[in-house]
Amino acid sequence: MTKNPTNKGKMSKVIAVFSIVLCLGLCISFAELFSSLITVGGFNAIKSNEIKQASFSLYAISLYQTDTKAKAQDLAEIVQRKNGAGFIWQIDTAFNVLASCYENLADAQKVQENLKASNTSSEIITLDFQEISIKAEVSEQEKNALTGGITSYKNMYKKLYDLSVSIDTNLYTEIEAKVLLSDIISEFSKIQANFETLFNPKLTSSLLELKLSLKNVSNILDSLSNFSSNEIPYTSQVKNSYFQILDEYFNLSKTL
């Protein structure tokens, strides 16, 4: 039997058209899938990043300085009963009993002048905090979580400082301050949870140190939330807590 060349040509055209449609369909499907992955965050480009908290300095009011920790602890109780932090900060062999801390030197000097007017001697101590830097192969989402963790120390200091000022100036009562503190704790808890969710499966030694340190900060904030005393004003404990957090950062910067 003789084959019809016309039918053969038509069949070839149909197959060619079908192939083109199939290819276009596959291309569109892959494009939509890729777009979806990017949109929902299922695909994150991994990049080499260096996440930092820049070095910074704060200015603390020291009311006492002694060469023994036991003596400093006795003096710390006196400072706390007078609305001061009563936090002991060791520099070399000297134990400084700190009352408060400021970002601007001018603010510390103003407080020092007020103390002098009330016949209270003091010294301004400069607290220098080293840069913390972690290099890691991370996605953009992980970079944001790591940045949030590293920078949370200074941010928590600022928030607790503002809270202490609000109490000292009678802007808020202790009850109102504790309500605001709950918001601060909630914000920090989200930072901590985000970090742990993303990095618990792949903790390096540096990330583990950061995780443990963030847990310590969480405990400091929880202790402040539950603090109650008839002898020590709440504002004193707020100030003491921000020094604890700064001390936590100081120790972490020495470790990493």
Model-wide pTM > 0.85:
no
Question: Measuring CA to CA, which residue among 246, 203, 240 is closest to residue 86?
Answer: 240
**In one letter, which amino acid is 126?**
T
From CA 69, how far away is CA 90, in angstroms rounded?
9
From CA 96, how far away is CA 242, in angstroms rounded?
16
Task: Spell out the per-residue pLDDT of the chain, length 256, in tens.
Answer: 444 555 555 555 545 544 554 454 545 444 444 444 444 444 456 777 899 999 999 999 999 999 999 999 999 999 999 999 999 999 999 999 999 999 999 999 999 999 999 999 999 999 999 999 999 899 999 999 999 999 999 999 999 999 999 999 999 999 999 999 999 999 999 999 999 999 999 999 999 999 999 999 999 999 999 999 999 999 999 999 999 999 999 999 999 9
234-255 and 69-81 are packed helices; what angle lies between their axes, rounded to 10 degrees? 140
Residue 81 has a CB neighbour count (10 Å cut-off) of 14
